[in-house]
Amino acid sequence: MSDINADANSESAYIRQLIELIELKSQQERRKDDSSRSTDGNINDKRTKRRTSKESDATSLSAKSSNAYTLTSGRAADAQFYHRDRLNADQRNIFDYVLSHPGRIVLVQAGPGTGKTFTMLAIAQACTKPVKVVIYKRDLLIPFRHCAVQYTVAKFCMMLFDLNFMAYKALDKQLASNVSVEELIISIGGLLRLALKNIAHTVDDCEILIIDEHTLIPKIIMFVILLICRIRPLTLIISGDRNQLQNIHNSIHARGISSYEIIESFADRVFSLRHNERCTDSRYSALVDYASKFSSSKKLDEFAYAFVSAIFYDRLTIDAKITDTHLASCHKTLTETVMYLTMNNQIPVSFYYIYATPQVAQGQVRGVPSSIRGLYNPDAFRGYFSKEKSCPKFLPYLPLVIGGRYFVQTFSENSIATLIYFDQSNIGNEEVHMKTSQNEILKFKKGDCRAVMFEEHVNYILNGGDEASDYVNTRSGRGLVYNFPIYPANVMSIHMCQGRTINNDIDLMLENCSYEQLYVAFSRVTQRSKFSRVRIYDTLTYLFSTIINFKKLALEPLSNLDVTDIVHVFNNHYTMYDLGNCKPDLIQSVQVAVTMFLCSRDVGMRCFLREKLIGFSKYLQRKTLTAPEGKGKKEKASGSSTLEYLLKNKSIFYPLALMNPPDVFVWVREYLIRNTALKNILSISPYRGRIRMFYTDDVDRGRATLESINNTSFAYANGETTVDYLRRIYSDKNHSTPNIQIIDANDERFNVNEESEKVTFLDYSCLRIRTVIKLDEKDSDRAEPLLLTRFSFRVIEANSSVNESWLLKELREFVNDSLSNERERNSQQIEEDNSFHTANRDVPQKRKIETYDDILEEVLPIKCVKNSRR
3-state DSSP percent of the chain in helix, strand and coil, to 5: 45, 15, 40
Mean pLDDT of 194-210: 88
Of 253-267, 493-507, 730-744, 771-785, minimum mean pLDDT range: 771-785
Residue 702 predicted with pLDDT over 50: no
Tens digit of each residue's pLDDT (9 = 90 or more) over 459-482: 899 988 865 444 433 456 789 999
**Predicted pLDDT at 398:** 96
Quick one: pLDDT band at residue 710, thresholds 50, 70, 90?
Answer: confident
Residue 92 predicted with pLDDT over 90: yes
Counting DSSP H helices and E strands in the chain, the numbers are 31, 29
Residue 48 predicted with pLDDT over 70: no
Residue 132 predicted with pLDDT over 90: yes
Coil, strand or helix: which one is 788? Answer: strand
Query: For residue 236, what is the enclosing H or E element?
Result: strand 235-240
Residue 361 predicted with pLDDT over 70: yes
Give the Cβ contact number of residue 765 at 10 Å.
23
Who has greater pLDDT, 190 or 23?
Answer: 190
Tens digit of each residue's pLDDT (9 = 90 or more) over 134-176: 998 888 888 898 899 999 999 999 999 988 888 888 888 888 7
Give the Cβ contact number of residue 636 at 10 Å.
10
Query: For residue 435, what is the enclosing H or E element?
Result: strand 431-435
Work out the mean pLDDT of the chain and round it to a whole number: 78
Q: How far is CA 796 from CA 289, 665, 784, in A?
A: 59, 15, 20
Coil, strand or helix: which one is 394? Answer: coil
Quick one: pLDDT band at residue 18, thresholds 50, 70, 90?
Answer: confident
**Predicted pLDDT at 61:** 28
CB within 8 Å of 801: residues ≥ 6 apart: none
Residue 7 predicted with pLDDT over 70: no
Who has greater pLDDT, 306 or 725?
Answer: 306
* Exposed/middle/buried for residue 265 (C-beta within 10 Å: 0-12, 13-18, 19+): middle
**Predicted pLDDT at 78:** 74
Tens digit of each residue's pLDDT (9 = 90 or more) over 365-374: 889 999 888 8
CB within 8 Å of 267: residues ≥ 6 apart: 105, 106, 107, 238
Mean pLDDT of 755-764: 36
Is the backbone of residue 454 left (phi > 0), alpha (psi -120 to 50) or beta? Answer: beta
Residue 117 predicted with pLDDT over 60: yes
**Predicted pLDDT at 79:** 74
End-to-end CA distance of the chain: 32
Asked whether 560 and 148 are in contact (CB, 8 A), the reply is no
Ranges 11-20, 169-178, 257-266, most confident: 257-266
- Write down the H helix ranges in 523-560: 539-549, 552-555
**Predicted pLDDT at 444:** 96
**Predicted pLDDT at 309:** 96
**Predicted pLDDT at 848:** 39
Mean pLDDT of 348-354: 95
- For the chain, the residue count is 870
Mean pLDDT of 279-306: 90
Who has greater pLDDT, 759 or 379?
Answer: 379
Quick one: pLDDT band at residue 75, thresholds 50, 70, 90?
Answer: low
**Predicted pLDDT at 49:** 39
- Type of residue found at 13: A
Quick one: pLDDT band at residue 66, thresholds 50, 70, 90?
Answer: very low
Cross-strand partners of 508: 327, 534
CB within 8 Å of 804: residues ≥ 6 apart: 1, 2, 671, 674, 675
Residue 536 predicted with pLDDT over 50: yes
Q: What percent of the chain has pLDDT over 70?
A: 74
| CA pair distance 738, 640, nearest whole angstrom | 41
Residue 454 predicted with pLDDT over 70: yes
Who has greater pLDDT, 674 or 793?
Answer: 674
What is the DSSP track for 691-745?
TGGG----TTT-S-SHHHHTTGGGSPPTT--HHHHHHHHT--TT----EEEEE-T
Mean pLDDT of 493-522: 91
Of 614-628, 656-670, 718-732, 772-786, minimum mean pLDDT range: 772-786
Mean pLDDT of 783-810: 64
Residue 2 predicted with pLDDT over 50: no
Tens digit of each residue's pLDDT (9 = 90 or more) over 542-572: 999 999 999 999 998 878 899 999 999 998 8
Give the Cβ contact number of residue 764 at 10 Å.
20
Delineate the domains of the chain, giving CATH numbers in brackets: 50-162+198-273 (3.40.50.300), 325-497 (no CATH)
Mean pLDDT of 31-36: 62
**Predicted pLDDT at 836:** 64
Q: How far is CA 730 from CA 109, 186, 709, in A?
A: 51, 20, 21
Of 57-71, 604-618, 747-761, minimum mean pLDDT range: 57-71
Who has greater pLDDT, 14 or 417?
Answer: 417
Quick one: pLDDT band at residue 106, thresholds 50, 70, 90?
Answer: very high
Tens digit of each residue's pLDDT (9 = 90 or more) over 659-692: 888 888 888 888 887 777 766 554 444 444 444 4
Q: How far is CA 762 from CA 133, 186, 687, 799, in A?
A: 49, 21, 17, 14
Tens digit of each residue's pLDDT (9 = 90 or more) over 569-597: 998 889 999 988 888 899 999 999 999 99
Residue 743 predicted with pLDDT over 80: no
**Predicted pLDDT at 847:** 39
